[in-house]
């Protein structure tokens, strides 16, 4: 047996060498190593007439150049193709040497025509493109362009194989605005300085008592309490796993325990909690020289009381904390963080690190987006294809082994485009979260955004049909093979991106997934409280294929095609037509809601008490009573497009409204207005920490006074007659442009801390809702801006002086803040976004760096040579450097 194995291995190795030496493989390698891709935006805001025969949805397009440079000898082969991701639809190429083909989603294929004459030695070819909408962020360009000749294995073009997009993407220069009406201000060192100057550096004692998130009531009783020997927890009522979680946090922060440590008595005693805080998750904390006492209303309250004590501690010096009394309870029952591991996979370790931080800042709902068009990320027993096929992306045109590549991952499965959580991984996550008072909410997006599931089940169907197992093949099939509807989704996927809600097999699939996931919760000993249906963007109207191929375009002036050329999803599905004709569904537009009611009806079977969906997934239901269980909606309308009124309507229908709107709490959007800051920006140009801190989730109209729309312009909201009932607040981290765990943490932190602040604590400057009140930035002055800025100053100082260093201790790859700087009287003056974060400067254009000290500010002889950056408190990482502008 051993000899046979060796012979087979040698044979495979020899055949691999032979294959590697084929002309196609040789050309593929030469193209991948010799070609260099350079991408440059030329002009945003082209006239509609230049947008190509299809036009664009909003008559908006831009031009870009792709330059292919051959760094070596001439390459004359023509039978090759380059694959790349483009999140903007390519409308046309202004060259006759190449053609471009849209495959699916953001995947395109570039091929030479007969007029292509080859790549000359050390020569360049530029391909002008026209693309839909605009590009104002470097991160819109995706990495890992790859090439193959013939049937040879594809290889990544070397200079695109990077997360540092500046290696092949040109700076945007003046192309950082959508349109001429864009009033945003590009951030640079000078205007950062002006902005950061509004947040003064406070004396250490001013933020020493600041618990994050802020408590309901807090009274300093005078003096400092010595805790030089650490803390000794004495708990009653907390389970061992929760105590272990608190001890882990203490160890993470360097807080010692032991016999001489400061005694901390922790128990559950609702009667000992002051009346104002006597509710779920509430607690009372008293700190005296003799010890600390924490009385929780319940287990979560006791746990959070300890977290508040730990919040006061400095990791560099934990010798004293202020004496005080605290009575505290949350403003919202639902304080969430949504992590998308479907578009790009993110590791179990990264999720566990996020759970640690959620617990520290009292966030209690981890909403896991586990499936989408681009990936299925949880192992489901009995349906192995979901992860064997749907959790992998590679260059397989048949999509029987994997999904096609998307989002800049390259042709192979060794990047974060591929991956999944095993059943045991998920059970471990559930246990870890429960010990930290966090409820995990699983989401499997249906009926739209379901391409990974549909393709996986089609692979299963083909395999079982080939084995002659017809009944088994159809058991979980998600498409009607007779459906000829043409659709093109928001992300440019075809009809395989939506499962068919009319098939009994589709409901069986949902039931199967729900049952298996419920079994994981049971194994973990954790209740499954909520099922998230997804439901978003199952769009109603799509462009007909034949019309598109004929070069048709919108004619009614509203971004719509003529009625004769419209398709609704499933409009040509016989099984769906039969449902409508039988009167079981009012019309095709009601099919997503029909399916939502069917899935909702499954919940009691598994003891699940709550249903949840993105708001548009339930838009045609008359009210929440249409569903079998209490239902929450994630509200995600932007306020400047009528979101305040929309939230009120959802509340009036009886839904619990979880504020999740992109213009304030999407933390995958850029941190500031700068093309080098990554993230999508369709709902807001940036969501910095202060904007999130300033957000008033219970009085949505108020935010029109304290912020602007995505183009930097003021907008007006007049309060409606009735305030919506807000159930909670959730931050969203969508991962299309976030391919690594490190980038995910860069986008999340420290913004998650500001989200936690608003989810837990209602600030005094948040106005009570009053019907008929008008708010507009730069016009009205209802909000006490002085109180708001003073509150933020204490928060920002606590963040910079204390919390950033704790993220270092936790091993989190957070975003280091930027630096504002200018030259004053010949000397450098510099400020970090959060006071207390170390600032460094260079006087020789980044060759050498020194710690900045305002008391000994360096003289500047050549401002053009000056650069500034922040450093992590532990000295291991550095922020993005900036020159003086």
Residues catalogued as catalytic: 537
Task: Give the integer Cα–Cα distance in Å for 575 and 566.
Answer: 19
Distance CA 674, CA 685 (A): 9
Beta bridge partners of 532: 443, 612
Q: Any idea which residue has 């009809």 for tokens?
A: 495
Question: Which SS3 state, helix, strand or coil, does residue 547 take?
Answer: helix
The residue written with tokens 């051959």 in the block is 70
Tell me how far apart the 2 most distant CA atoms of the chain are, in Å: 86
The Cα–Cα gap between 113 and 101 comes to: 12
Distance between CA atoms of residues 749 and 66, nearest Å: 34
CA distances from 162 to 37, 193, 617 (A): 12, 32, 37
Q: Looking at 28-97, which runs of residues are DSSP E strands?
A: 35-46, 61-70, 80-85, 90-93
Give the three-class secondary structure for 722. coil
DSSP letter assigned to residue 59: S
Tokens 């304030």, residue located: 664
Tokens standing for residue 365: 């709902």
Q: Residue 33: enclosing H or E segment and its boundaries?
A: helix 23-34
Q: Which of 616, 684, 626 is nearest to 653 (CA)?
A: 626
Strands (E), 158-247: 217-226, 231-236
Strands (E), 690-747: 716-718, 726-733
User: What Å distances lie between residue 710 and 180, 271, 676, 762, CA to CA?
Assistant: 13, 48, 17, 25
The residue length of the chain stands at 885
Task: Tell me phi and psi for residue 298, to 5 degrees.
Answer: -150, -175
Strands laid side by side in the 155-156 sheet: 98-104, 107-112, 80-85, 146-149, 155-156
User: Residue 404 is encoded by which pair of tokens?
Assistant: 């096609």
CB 19 within 8 A of CB 28: no
Distance from C-alpha of 419 to C-alpha of 452, rounded to nearest angstrom: 13
φ, ψ of residue 210 to 5 degrees: the values are -80, 105
User: CB within 8 A of 445, min separation 6: which ones?
Assistant: 342, 369, 371, 372, 533, 534, 535, 536
| Neighbouring-strand partners of residue 43 | 63
Residue 378, phi then psi, degrees to nearest 5:
-135, 130
Reported as type and span, the H/E element at residue 430 is: helix 423-435
**Of 505, 500, 345, 504, nearest in space to 409 by CA:** 345
Burial class (CB in 10 A: 0-12, 13-18, 19+), 803: buried
Q: Are 729 and 335 in contact (CB under 8 A)?
A: yes
């Amino acid at each position: 047996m051993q000899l046979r194995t060796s012979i087979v291995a040698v044979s495979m190795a020899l055949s691999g060498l032979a294959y590697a030496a084929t002309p196609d493989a040789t050309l593929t390698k030469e193209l991948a190593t010799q070609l260099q891709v350079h991408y440059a935006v030329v002009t945003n805001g082209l006239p509609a007439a230049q947008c190509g025969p299809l036009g664009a949805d909003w008559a908006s397009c831009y031009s870009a150049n792709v330059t292919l440079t051959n760094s070596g000898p001439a390459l004359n082969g023509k039978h090759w193709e380059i694959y790349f991701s483009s999140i903007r639809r390519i409308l046309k190429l202004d060259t006759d040497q190449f053609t471009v083909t849209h495959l699916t989603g953001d995947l395109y294929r570039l091929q030479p025509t007969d007029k292509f004459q080859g790549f000359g030695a050390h020569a360049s070819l530029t391909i002008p493109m026209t693309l839909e909408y605009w590009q104002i962020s470097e991160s819109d360009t995706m990495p890992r362009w790859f090439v193959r000749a013939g049937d040879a294995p594809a290889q990544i073009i070397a200079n695109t194989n990077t997360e540092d997009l500046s290696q092949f993407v040109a700076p945007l220069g003046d192309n950082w605005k959508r349109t001429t009406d864009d009033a945003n201000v590009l951030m640079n060192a000078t205007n950062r300085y002006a902005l950061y100057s509004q947040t003064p550096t406070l004396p250490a004692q001013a933020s020493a008592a600041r618990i994050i998130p802020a408590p309901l009531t807090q009274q300093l009783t005078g003096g400092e309490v010595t805790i030089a020997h650490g803390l000794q927890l004495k708990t009653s009522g907390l389970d061992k796993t929760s105590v272990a979680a608190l001890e882990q946090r203490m160890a993470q922060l360097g807080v010692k325990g032991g016999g001489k440590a400061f005694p901390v008595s922790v128990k559950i005693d609702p009667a000992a909690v002051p009346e104002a805080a006597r509710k779920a998750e509430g607690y009372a904390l008293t700190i005296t020289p003799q010890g600390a006492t924490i009385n929780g209303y319940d287990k979560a309250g006791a746990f959070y009381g300890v977290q508040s004590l730990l919040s006061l501690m400095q990791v560099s010096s934990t010798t004293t904390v202020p004496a005080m009394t605290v009575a505290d309870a949350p403003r919202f029952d639902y304080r969430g963080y949504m992590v998308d591991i479907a578009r790009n996979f993110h590791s179990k370790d990264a999720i566990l690190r996020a759970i640690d931080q959620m617990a520290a800042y009292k966030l209690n709902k981890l909403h896991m987006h586990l499936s989408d068009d681009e990936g299925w990320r949880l192992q489901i027993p009995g349906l192995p294809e979901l992860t064997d096929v749907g959790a992998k992306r590679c260059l397989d045109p048949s999509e029987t082994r994997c999904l096609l590549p998307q989002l800049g991952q390259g042709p192979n499965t060794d990047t974060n485009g591929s991956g999944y959580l095993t059943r045991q991984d998920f059970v471990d996550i559930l246990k870890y979260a429960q010990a930290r008072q966090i409820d995990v909410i699983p989401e499997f997006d249906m009926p739209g955004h379901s391409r990974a599931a549909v393709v996986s089940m089609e692979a299963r169907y083909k395999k079982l049909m080939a084995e002659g197992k017809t009944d088994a093949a159809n058991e979980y099939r998600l498409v009607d093979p007779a459906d000829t509807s043409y659709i093109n989704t928001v992300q440019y996927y075809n009809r395989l991106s939506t499962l068919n809600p009319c098939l009994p097999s589709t409901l069986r699939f949902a039931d199967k997934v729900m049952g298996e996931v419920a079994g994981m919760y049971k194994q973990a000993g954790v209740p499954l409280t909520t099922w998230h249906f997804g439901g978003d963007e199952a769009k109603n109207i799509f462009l007909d294929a034949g019309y598109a191929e004929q070069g048709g375009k919108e004619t009614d002036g509203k971004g719509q095609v003529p009625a004769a050329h419209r398709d609704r999803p499933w409009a040509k599905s016989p099984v769906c037509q039969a449902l409508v004709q039988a009167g079981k569904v009012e019309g095709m537009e009601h099919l997503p809601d029909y399916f939502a009611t069917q899935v909702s009806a499954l919940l009691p079977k598994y003891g699940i008490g709550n249903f949840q969906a993105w708001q548009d997934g339930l838009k045609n239901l008359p009210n929440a009573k249409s569903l079998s269980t209490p239902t929450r909606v994630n509200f995600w309308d932007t306020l400047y497009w009528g979101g305040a009124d929309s939230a009120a309507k959802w509340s009036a229908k009886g839904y619990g409204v979880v504020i999740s709107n992109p213009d304030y709490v999407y933390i995958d959007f850029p941190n500031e207005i700068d093309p080098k800051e990554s993230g999508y920006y369709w709902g807001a140009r940036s969501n910095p920490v202060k904007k999130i801190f300033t957000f008033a989730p219970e009085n949505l109209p108020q935010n029109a006074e304290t912020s602007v729309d995505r183009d930097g312009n003021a907008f007006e909201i007049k309060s409606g007659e009735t305030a919506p009932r807000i159930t909670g607040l959730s931050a969203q981290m969508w991962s299309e442009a976030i391919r690594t765990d490190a980038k995910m943490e860069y986008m999340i932190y420290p913004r998650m801390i500001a989200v936690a602040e608003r989810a837990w604590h209602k600030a005094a400057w948040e106005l009570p809702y009053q019907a008929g009140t008008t708010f507009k930035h730069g016009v009205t002055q209802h909000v006490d801006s002085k109180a708001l800025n003073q509150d933020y100053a204490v928060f920002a100082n606590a963040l910079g002086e204390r919390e950033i260093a704790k993220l270092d201790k936790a091993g989190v790859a957070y975003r280091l803040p930027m630096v504002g700087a200018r030259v004053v009287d010949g000397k450098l003056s510099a400020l970090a976004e959060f006071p207390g974060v170390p600032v460094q400067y260079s006087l020789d254009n980044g060759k050498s760096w020194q710690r900045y000290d305002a008391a000994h500010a360096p003289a500047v002889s050549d401002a053009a040579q000056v650069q500034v950056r922040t450093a992590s408190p532990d000295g291991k990482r550095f922020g993005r450097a900036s020159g003086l502008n």
